[in-house]
Structure 1
Amino acid sequence: MLRGRAKMAEAVWELLERAARRAPPLEELRALRLAVQAVPPAALRARLSADHLTALFDLLGGNDREQVAACVSILERLLQALDPVFVIQNLREELQKGLFHPDDSVKILSIAQAIKSLSRIAQTQDGLEALFVSSLLSDLKNVMATSDVVRYRVYELIVEISSVSAESLNYCANSGLISELLGELTGDDVLVRATCIEMVTSLAHTPHGRQYLAQQGVIDKISNIIVGAESDPFSGFYLPGFVKFFGNLAVVDSPQQICERYPVFIEKVFEMAESHDPTMIGVAVDTLGILGSNVEGKQVLQKTRSRFQSLLSKIGHQAKNAPTELRLRCLDAISSLLYLPPEQQTEDLLRMTESWFTALSSQPLELFRSISTQPFPDLHCGALRVFTAIANQPWAQKLMFDSPGFVEYIVDRSVEPDKASKDAKYELVKALVNSKTIAEIFGNQYYLRLRAYLHEGPYYVKAVATTAVEGAE
């Protein structure tokens, strides 16, 4: 196999050398396209020069569509092997020319490479200055009108650069491109809104990004659009993204402040969770999981009292009866809502998680145990993650210990059919063993069995001794 690869690599260099000296016939380009796919990127990087690539870019100027397609395919592979900064330093002119090529595949190749290179260059002050004073950015602005795909790729680049530092955000804001993105976010095209909100959510992951969005009044505008969604028959297209935006904002900022300042957010999440639309329920469940992933978020949900309790009952029902994908999302959200780090386990919070667990079903432990014994690995692991989330809480340990056969189920390795399930069970055992109250609640015998399980690792198989019986066949 190694010899075959070495042969392929030699064939690549031979064909590239020939292409650098003269325009190759189509058969040679086809052979080169096949050869570069078979050679690992590291081997390509070793001997690749700017001349080889320039020659291929020159061939893009021809009228033969098959030739252009072959060259795009070869260049995609070769450029992947190179450092983006090398590409922009040595092939800037070729990429700029490519941005205005009549063939969309060439445009998209050039944009993808320009974007990869620019996001790397923008990591440094010198790179930022070079980028924003060069004509490359204005060229990118000019090609944005080509298609939605191209426009979104440029927005993605701007968001990526803006996320590096407050200074890089300033450069991007001054270029006018962020204003264009925000304009589309609050514009009338519902499908464009849905795409733009994802990029704006990425921008909100950094403190300077959040500050900028707040200063520009964007967060208020998003809140107002959620309010107006009631009367918009097309709100289903963008509402999930807008609600997720607030969910993410609450976690990186302060759940309490966000929910107090934008009450429409939490109201809309509850409405969506209570609806009969599986898409909306899924988004609401994801958002509740995000919001309740830290203690402050849990306390915000607890303040809604009986409304959240009845919502938990619906989520428990969905975890048992919904289509598989929604069941998984419910299980993940339940794990997130019920988990309490050991250092935050006050009596009040433990009472709260216990009451939430009880609200999920008339027999919640049995509900998740029945899901964990199903032959679907994803659901099986999802249920194990719920047990892992509550495993360090004394009330849950008592429930587990008092449930007939439950501790035996935990230490039984034979019920885990695949690697993912074995890993998930091991995490549950680890969470139990590392708890301070486990020895007291489970008793010494089971505690030692759990410790032995932890020590043996997730994939331990007990050796079975075979004894020869005299006279046996």
Structure 2
Amino acid sequence: MINSDTEQYRIFINNLQREEFRHSALNDIKNLLTFKPAREAIGTIQNVGITKIVRCLNVPEKTHVDLTCEVLRICFEKFNPGDVIKTYTGHIMYLLRHEKSCVRKLAIDEVYKALSTDINTLPVAEYQDVFVATGQMVTDEDLGVANTAIQITSMLPPEAYPRVLEEMKIAFDGSSSVKCNAFEVAINISIRAPELFRLCADQEYIDFMVSELNTNDVLYQLNILELLSQLAVKAHGISYLVQRGVLQKIAVLVEALHRNLLGSLLVPGYLKFFGAVAHSYPREILDKYPILVECLFDTIDSGDPGTLPVALDTLGFIGNTIEGKLCLASLGSKYTQAIQKVGQIVRNSPSDMKVRALQCYASLIGYSQDPSAPKSGPIDHRVTLMTREWFRTLSTNPGPMETLFEMCKYPFPDIKFAAFSLLDSVCQHQWGEELVARTAGFVEFLLDRGMDQTKEAKEAKYDIIRRLSHSPAFDSNILMRLQTYVEQGPFYSEDALQVAMEEGD
């Protein structure tokens, strides 16, 4: 920016001191800076400063405050991420603690821009106060400001946290939503690394969260369970929860749900927590906490549309691993009855519930998503025998594969995709490949590219055919057709090939 523009900027800045000129002066600054290249604008802004602009935030007129925020935002946009905070640290601290939410939002956006670009752009030793002020803003009454504060405080450099977490405890005296904001930060930090988790635990965030489960506020309780579920899937998290007796406490709370008038609203939250833990530690949870198992099976048996979707997801999540399948099978008749109920849901329920039940079946029968499963060669013969029996519960008349075949042909994309997911799981087993080979018309259906219109269905079918393309269940002619399909890819089209050939001619 040339000197004449700098002098003009200085004149506009000085005009801000007179109330009758303030509005026009702010607009003049806005118009002067908006389209100036950053390199030119920065020199002038730093030469003259922004102090008198900041003072305009302390006037009663809302229009002046809004316009002042707009002018400051234009000034800040000229700087590289972090440079505004480095150059105007005192001003940023003032803005972060301003009484007007639009001003706080302006300042916290600058902190977010800096840290999201490079977490180390603001050294902790120099900007600890900025981090503390941001951490305290998780309690902000403005939802947008609080959410940005949560994002920032969740990604600070590790050395910032001892003091930030200590100062952020002001949230413990706030409303349930404010406390949840602080809990969210603590969990986000805790799942980053065991050392950060220990810091949160030492500052009593985890214990305080657990103690708050005794609340009568259903939404608050569900939010805490959701956050604890995220922690429970981490080895250091579940270890701490077990040591502190948290799982036993949750089991007691589950047992009391039937005496709570709002118990049905809480069931999904407890099931989600239970599923998150049992997915990673099925034997420990299913053996030691039978009340959680009973809650899961009772919910599936009840057919309550409000709680059934989460119950189906939970059952599938637990049985997604080989160890989970074996642990579920060890429960005996209770589990057998549960999976028979899932089959009834597939056959007799509305579309949305049918989809959830099919996805549950797919998780229980397939094993490809289990990182501990063998990449090649046979799996545990018990799994082979169990999953075949479980698949038979899908339908008896017609048989399960005929029923699945019909659902793969459904015109509804969501049901068709869920059916393909189950078919993919079935085809992970030799008995499944053999059932496909014996089901009249199934292979022809799979090879017919005209049956599927959506990208998801084409990709799902392609994955199934790729599984089958080397199966000993088929004769050489079928194998050759399957392998040709795989070579051509999921989106091959005779029409597209013909067009390409004609264009080549």
TM-score interval, smaller chain? 0.7 to 0.9
State whether residues 232 and 277 of structure 2, in contact with CA within 8 Å, keep that contact through their aligned partners in structure 1: yes
Aligned counterpart for 2:343 among listed residues 290, 311, 316? 316
Query: What aligned pairs does 1:93-112 form with structure 2 within 5 A after superposition?
Result: 93-97=129-133, 99=136, 104=142, 108=146, 111-112=149-150
- The unaligned stretches of length 5 or more in structure 1 are 1-6, 469-473
State whether residues 173 and 179 of structure 1, in contact with CA within 8 Å, keep that contact through their aligned partners in structure 2: yes
Q: Specify the code of the residue in structure 2 equivalent to 1:391.
A: C
- The unaligned stretches of length 5 or more in structure 2 are 1-32, 55-63, 368-372
| Match status 1:173 vs 2:208 | no
Q: What is the CA distance between 1:354 and its match in structure 2?
A: 1.6
Q: Alpha-carbon deviations, 1:373-402, whole Å to 9, x = none? A: 223323221111111101132222222122
Aligned to 1:376: 412
State whether residues 282 and 329 of structure 1, in contact with CA within 8 Å, keep that contact through their aligned partners in structure 2: yes
Q: Alpha-carbon deviations, 1:68-113, whole Å to 9, x = none? A: 3773686487457532343574654345446369763585166335
State whether residues 72 and 109 of structure 1, in contact with CA within 8 Å, keep that contact through their aligned partners in structure 2: no
Aligned to 1:270: 297
Moved more, 68-77 or 81-90: 68-77
| Match status 1:189 vs 2:189 | no
TM-score, length basis structure 2: 0.76
Aligned counterpart for 1:295 among listed residues 314, 317, 322? 322
Q: What is the CA distance between 1:54 and its match in structure 2?
A: 6.3
Q: Alpha-carbon deviations, 1:289-337, whole Å to 9, x = none? A: 1121122322233234444344333322323443433222212111111
Could you say if the C-alpha distance between residues 105 and 384 of structure 1 is closer, same or farther in structure 2, counting changes exceeding 3 Å? closer
User: How many residues were matched structurally?
Assistant: 442
Q: What is the CA distance between 1:425 and its match in structure 2?
A: 0.9
Q: Which has the larger radius of gyration?
A: 2
Aligned to 2:17: none
TM-score, length basis structure 1: 0.80
Q: What is the CA distance between 1:210 and its match in structure 2?
A: 1.6
Moved more, 93-102 or 311-320: 93-102
Aligned to 1:220: 248
Query: What aligned pairs does 1:346-361 form with structure 2 within 5 A after superposition?
Result: 346-361=380-395
Aligned to 2:11: none
Q: Specify the code of the residue in structure 1 equivalent to 2:169.
A: K
State whether residues 177 and 220 of structure 2, in contact with CA within 8 Å, keep that contact through their aligned partners in structure 1: no
Q: What is the CA distance between 1:15 and its match in structure 2?
A: 7.2
State whether residues 283 and 324 of structure 2, in contact with CA within 8 Å, keep that contact through their aligned partners in structure 1: yes
Aligned to 2:118: 83
Q: For 2:117, what is the secondary structure of its paired residue? A: coil
Could you say if the C-alpha distance between residues 442 and 23 of structure 1 is closer, same or farther in structure 2, counting changes exceeding 3 Å? same
Query: What aligned pairs does 1:33-52 form with structure 2 within 5 A after superposition?
Result: 45=81, 50-51=86-87
Q: Specify the code of the residue in structure 2 equivalent to 1:244.
A: K
Q: For 2:53, what is the secondary structure of its paired residue? A: coil
State whether residues 285 and 329 of structure 1, in contact with CA within 8 Å, keep that contact through their aligned partners in structure 2: yes
State whether residues 144 and 151 of structure 1, in contact with CA within 8 Å, keep that contact through their aligned partners in structure 2: yes
Aligned counterpart for 1:246 among listed residues 254, 257, 274? 274
**Inter-partner Cα distance in structure 1 for 2:365 and 2:208:** 41
**Inter-partner Cα distance in structure 1 for 2:262 and 2:476:** 60
State whether residues 345 and 357 of structure 2, in contact with CA within 8 Å, keep that contact through their aligned partners in structure 1: yes
Could you say if the C-alpha distance between residues 228 and 31 of structure 1 is closer, same or farther in structure 2, counting changes exceeding 3 Å? same
Could you say if the C-alpha distance between residues 467 and 387 of structure 1 is closer, same or farther in structure 2, counting changes exceeding 3 Å? closer
Aligned to 2:353: 326
Q: For 2:228, what is the secondary structure of its paired residue? A: helix
Q: Specify the code of the residue in structure 2 equivalent to 1:416.
A: D
RMSD: 3.6
Could you say if the C-alpha distance between residues 8 and 448 of structure 1 is closer, same or farther in structure 2, counting changes exceeding 3 Å? farther
Q: For 1:23, what is the secondary structure of its paired residue? A: helix
State whether residues 372 and 384 of structure 1, in contact with CA within 8 Å, keep that contact through their aligned partners in structure 2: yes
Aligned to 1:366: 402
Percent of pairs with identical residues: 25
State whether residues 44 and 81 of structure 1, in contact with CA within 8 Å, keep that contact through their aligned partners in structure 2: no
Q: Specify the code of the residue in structure 2 equivalent to 1:419.
A: K
Moved more, 456-465 or 12-21: 12-21
Could you say if the C-alpha distance between residues 467 and 47 of structure 1 is closer, same or farther in structure 2, counting changes exceeding 3 Å? closer
